[in-house]
């Protein structure tokens, strides 16, 4: 049975595709790619059908990550097939929990930086869209820092299903 994780930001062109690419690489490195599916979406549909922001692509590629992506909007019906919905900031988390059809679905929504043990109290990944490439590099650092903790949780769930 496949474990499904979806990363969600605002328009699905900056933060969530970056998180998707980084986490997919971590899943592959861990040898879990046949058991874990990773994707991303936005809370809004403004960029549906677009590729990732060129600055996202540039930062990902400069750091050895894949960057193929087509933006899409998160749909309420997806909760039924997803195991974990990872919000990139508190606003996304609130929007997703409001969209969730059941309390169990709302409980699937978590903040990415909650998996980073040194993140502190500010668990938002800032939106780099209106800034320069430095913001995208900072976003990548935050995503990379949270990925090992998230992978550990996902691995625990996958191992639990296999038992």
- Cα dihedral 154, 57, 119, 129 sign: negative
What angle is formed at CA 66 by the lines to CA 136 and CA 3, rounded to 5 degrees? Answer: 100
CB-neighbour burial class of residue 30 (10 A; exposed 0-12, middle 13-18, buried 19+): middle
Q: What angle do CA 161, 162, 163 make, to 5 degrees?
A: 95
Active site residue 81: no
Q: Is 127 a catalytic residue?
A: yes
Catalytic residue among 6, 9, 14, 139: 9
Active-site annotation holds for 53: no
Of 15, 24, 26, 113, the active-site residue reads 15
- Identified catalytic residue from 4, 50, 97, 127: 127
Separation of alpha carbons 46 and 13, rounded Å: 10
Residues labelled catalytic: 9, 15, 127
């Amino acid at each position: 049975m496949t474990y499904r994780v979806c990363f969600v930001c605002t328009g699905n062109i900056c933060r969530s595709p970056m998180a998707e690419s980084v986490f997919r690489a971590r899943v592959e490195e861990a040898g879990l790619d046949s058991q874990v599916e990773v994707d991303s979406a936005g809370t809004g549909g403004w960029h549906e059908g677009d590729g990732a922001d060129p600055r996202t692509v540039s930062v990902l590629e400069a750091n050895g990550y894949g960057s193929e992506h087509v933006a899409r909007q998160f749909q309420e019906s997806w909760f039924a097939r997803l195991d974990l919905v990872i919000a990139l900031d508190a606003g996304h988390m609130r929007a997703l929990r409001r969209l969730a059809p059941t309390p169990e679905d709302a409980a699937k929504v978590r903040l990415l930086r909650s998996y980073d043990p040194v993140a502190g109290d500010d668990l938002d990944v800032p939106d780099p869209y209106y800034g320069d490439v430095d913001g995208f590099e900072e976003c990548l650092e935050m995503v990379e820092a949270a990925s090992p903790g998230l992978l550990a949780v996902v691995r625990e769930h996958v191992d639990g299903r296999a038992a």
